Amino acid sequence: MKNLNQTVILFLLVLLTISCNNDDTSNSSNTPNLKGKWAFGEDYGCGKNSIEFKNTNVFIEHHYNANCSSTPYYGEYTLVGDIVTINGTEKIIIELTNTILILYNPINDITSTYERMN
């Protein structure tokens, strides 16, 4: 009887471990991520205006003009909960999916929509 109880306990521990590992894996792969390149604004035929959030809390912004030239602008950002602070300006993340980012700036009451770039 003692061996049967030990076997049942061992089986339950293995089952619990497997089910916990599967849950963790599925949640992390579906979680939207701010990091990456996001398009916004006008497309002049040579490229879309964009902002790219890097892994190092640095962002790069590109604004193209009618002559298809762009000078990169670098800055710093932080992300805490639903607040992304870009060069000292706090913006509220209204929506963040794998393809869409919507930010709200309460200081000037502007909502900006971004599309993830490949």
pLDDT single digits (tens) 39-78: 997 776 777 899 999 999 999 999 888 788 888 999 999 9
Measured CA to CA, the distance from residue 18 to residue 66 in angstroms comes to 56
Residue 25 and residue 61 share a domain? no
Residue 60 and residue 11 share a domain? no
Domain limits at 86?
36-116
Which pLDDT value is given to residue 41?
77
Residue 61 and residue 43 share a domain? yes
Which whole number is the average pLDDT over 11-38?
Answer: 59
Residue 63 and residue 7 share a domain? no
Residue 48 and residue 24 share a domain? no
Measured CA to CA, the distance from residue 39 to residue 62 in angstroms comes to 9
Q: How many distinct structural domains can be found in the chain? A: 2
pTM of the prediction?
Answer: 0.69
CATH code assigned at 96: 2.40.128.50
Which whole number is the average pLDDT over 92-117?
Answer: 96
Residue 41 and residue 88 share a domain? yes
Residues linked to residue 86 through DSSP beta bridges, in sequence order: 77, 89
Residues 6 or more apart from 39 whose CB is under 8 A from it?
Answer: 48, 49, 50, 114, 115, 116, 117
Which pLDDT value is given to residue 118?
74
Q: Has residue 18 got a pLDDT over 90?
A: no
Residue 95 and residue 40 share a domain? yes
Which whole number is the average pLDDT over 30-44?
Answer: 84
Which pLDDT value is given to residue 34?
95
